[in-house]
Structure 1
């Protein structure tokens, strides 16, 4: 029988600070080699600290309550935040209703796969136990976001930048499904390529985090390995299902019901969130510049008045 999970380590913020020194080291290397990723590394590391800190506080409360509705809310929140990451942060091109389509694809993939996998493959009852369900949904969301971004980015690039092949098929009388089949096939192949590569090297070249966590938690190596197998298969299924849903919905929007290509439905501008941020930043900079100019004008006027008063007194 497996031993009970034990907390074998105790880390405080000094340990986190020591780990953060590795990020600083990478940023210094980036600056010295002029790679241009130093600020991205630091901002990503700060986001990691803030996000994991908030997640730790929220999940601790959810684990203590052991409420299925709270677990379901956290799962939906993870999918919502994954959609935000995919649409706002990762996608350079977007299309009409992309947010709702991506959210629909994520919910229809992560939730059913997690329920079926945990209940029947992992034989956990009830399936919504917070300490098992929430981490697994988080891993599914992480893999699903990557697959969705790859698939949608490829489809939009082919439709907007390299649309000659699709237009040729359509001009010869092909339906939109026939014309877009090569694009969809390649998009799905690219979306699944990272998962396939990860499964091919897992165990021999890399020991995944879930298996390591299970071993540290007190499970036997055999049980940890089998758990990791099930989880990798679940990630693969969730990624494939989400990529299929989002690829089909994307093609259905950018190629309309009358078999016409609609590149006008593709938006290549920055997301409105970033445009609003840039507008606010430019207004703030303009306000600071105006304030500095006003202060300089007042200082110059005071100096002129002082010089004039001195000349008057000396005269």
Structure 2
């Protein structure tokens, strides 16, 4: 099969960036206040995909199992960072290592079993197959964990009376937290359920499109997409379940006490330092702009005082 797809350049990327500029302009006109966030997200998208492209190009060329596992570990670390510090409005104690353990426990086994047996890949770690799949699994797991933990943390911050009532009547911490955990897990898995409901009927997913462009038949691409969606569902459920377990056992200790002191609503410390540095830089720039006017104003005031003094005399 002859590859007739065009070669994309940075000019094509800049043309695509016009769609983001349109969104930013729409935000400015309607007063949505998300124009800056859109541009920052677009910048991150370009930078991250460029770096990832350079790394994956070398990993694919080497065809080394340790390189593949290294990429998988790196993706899990970055995913845990994203889920902890960007997707969650509040953080509990030791959240990052616990979320990392949840994601490793949920993504690696599912991806290995799925690629080896469901997709019949031998070896299962073929870079061009395994790395994109674990990336898709992680992307959905991050979203699911973010939804679940934000739901739990909001409940504990605003409606802790429900859990306290269960505990007051002698329920164990697992019995008291069960309704909150069930609701959070249900909300976290709802996007995946909705996606599976409309896939193929309304939307054509990216992996299926990529497989068709790569030369697979439509039937094979459809079966591949089915397997991947089932893997995403299982991995998201397992990652979210473990994350909820760690969160709830941290917020309600072994003595059945609610520990809101372990829940931090502040921005992460490095973001606080970033904002503080930005404020100082901005104040410095404003000071430079107003320096001439300040000097002029002070000179005028000085002259006025001198004139007033001479008049009084």
Distance 1:34 1:288, change over 3 A: closer
SS of residue in 1 equivalent to 2:253: coil
Aligned counterpart, 1:197: 194
C-alpha contact (below 8 Å) 1:71/1:128 kept by paired residues: yes
- Following superposition, the deviation at residue 288 of structure 1 comes to 3.1
Aligned counterpart, 2:271: 274
- What is the aligned counterpart of 1:77 among 74, 77, 81? 74
Distance 1:7 1:239, change over 3 A: farther
C-alpha contact (below 8 Å) 2:115/2:124 kept by paired residues: yes
Aligned counterpart, 2:84: 87
SS of residue in 2 equivalent to 1:59: helix
- Following superposition, the deviation at residue 291 of structure 1 comes to 4.3
Deviation string 1:127-175 (CA, Å, 9 cap, x unpaired) is 1111001000100000000010011111111112110010000011111
Aligned counterpart, 1:308: none
C-alpha contact (below 8 Å) 1:188/1:243 kept by paired residues: yes
Distance in 2 of aligned mates of 1:262 and 1:297: 52
Query: Which has the higher relative contact order, 1 or 2, with Cα contacts under 8 A spaced 6 or more apart?
Result: 1
Gaps of 5+ in 2: 302-313
C-alpha contact (below 8 Å) 2:87/2:143 kept by paired residues: no
Distance in 2 of aligned mates of 1:244 and 1:149: 12
Distance in 2 of aligned mates of 1:217 and 1:70: 23
Aligned counterpart, 2:230: 233
Distance 1:112 1:7, change over 3 A: farther
Total equivalences in the alignment: 302
Aligned counterpart, 2:14: 17
1:248-259 matched pairs, under 5 angstroms? 248-259=245-256
- Following superposition, the deviation at residue 223 of structure 1 comes to 0.3
- Following superposition, the deviation at residue 39 of structure 1 comes to 1.8
Aligned counterpart, 2:285: 288
After superposition, the CA RMSD in angstroms is 2.0
- Following superposition, the deviation at residue 96 of structure 1 comes to 0.3
TM-score (norm 2): 0.91
Distance in 2 of aligned mates of 1:13 and 1:289: 35
C-alpha contact (below 8 Å) 1:66/1:129 kept by paired residues: yes
Distance 1:293 1:30, change over 3 A: closer
- What is the aligned counterpart of 1:110 among 107, 112, 128? 107
TM-score (norm 1): 0.91
Distance 1:33 1:300, change over 3 A: closer
Deviation string 1:264-287 (CA, Å, 9 cap, x unpaired) is 111111121221111111222233
Gaps of 5+ in 1: 305-315
C-alpha contact (below 8 Å) 1:7/1:217 kept by paired residues: no
Query: Aligned pair 1:134/2:131, yes or no?
Result: yes
